[in-house]
Amino acid sequence: MRIFALQTDKQKIIRRFCHDHEGESVVYLTYYHGLAFLVRALKDVLFTIILIALGIVALSMNLHVWWTFGILSLIWFFFVFGNLLKIYIDWRYDFIVVTTDKVILVDQTLFFKQQIMPIHVENIGGISTFTQYWDIFPFGGMFIHLKEGLGGKDVEVKYVPHAQVLAGKISDVVTRYQRHNYQKELSARE
């Protein structure tokens, strides 16, 4: 289903960037860890708890129930709901796809913004991983070091489940690509 820029069907995005007829296939697909949502939503959860506490205080002071509930609900809706919805959509519909030719980073934020970054393997100079939260949870972060494109900057990705596995898959794809090109070069010289 498509709602403005938000595409909820990941297969449509994958088909748009993965060309099966040219021999390209999906090697690995992963979503972001659920803790990414919880960490980003923590501020809004705390604000919600404060609003509930204010409601309880207001009710203990014998203020009108409907007015108290209505005002606090409006405050919650305008200051928390939209942000929680944005955080949820950003977490739920973002994913990473590794194909035999490229790494695709999909970032969908709310209904109005979609950023898809296909990084071709010939532009990947290296991969490195890092731990998050003392490596207690089964996720981490990853840097994709670029040779060119984006000014040779590193692309940082956080909250990746089993980041070491994903980095290994990307590294394998890059190595296979380089070997294939090296074999072509040798054949052309002969």
| pLDDT reported for residue 73 | 93
Give yes or no for a contact between 64 and 137, defined as CB atoms under 8 angstroms apart.
Answer: no
Residue 109 pLDDT class (50, 70, 90 cuts): confident
Rounded CA gap, 121 and 171, in Å?
A: 9
Give yes or no for a contact between 131 and 33, defined as CB atoms under 8 angstroms apart.
Answer: no
Average pLDDT over residues 127-154: 87
Nearby residues of 79 by Cβ (< 8 Å), 6 or more positions away: 47
Residue 173, pLDDT above cutoff 90? yes
Give yes or no for a contact between 129 and 138, defined as CB atoms under 8 angstroms apart.
Answer: no
Give yes or no for a contact between 124 and 105, defined as CB atoms under 8 angstroms apart.
Answer: no
Give yes or no for a contact between 3 and 112, defined as CB atoms under 8 angstroms apart.
Answer: no
The 10s digit of each residue's pLDDT in 70-101 is: 999 999 999 999 999 999 999 999 999 999 99
Provide the 8-state DSSP code for 150. G
User: C-alpha dihedral over 137, 116, 124, 157, to 10 degrees?
Assistant: -20
C-beta neighbour count of 95 within 10 angstroms: 17
Instruction: State the DSSP H helix or E strand holding residue 107, giving kind and residue range, or none if neither.
Output: strand 102-109
The 10s digit of each residue's pLDDT in 13-71 is: 898 888 777 788 999 999 999 999 999 999 999 999 999 999 999 888 888 888 889 99
Instruction: State the DSSP H helix or E strand holding residue 128, giving kind and residue range, or none if neither.
Output: strand 124-131
> Lowest mean pLDDT: which of 90-104, 143-157, 162-176?
143-157
DSSP-derived secondary structure for 27-40: EEEEE--HHHHHHH
Residue 149 pLDDT class (50, 70, 90 cuts): low
- Which amino acid is it at 175? T
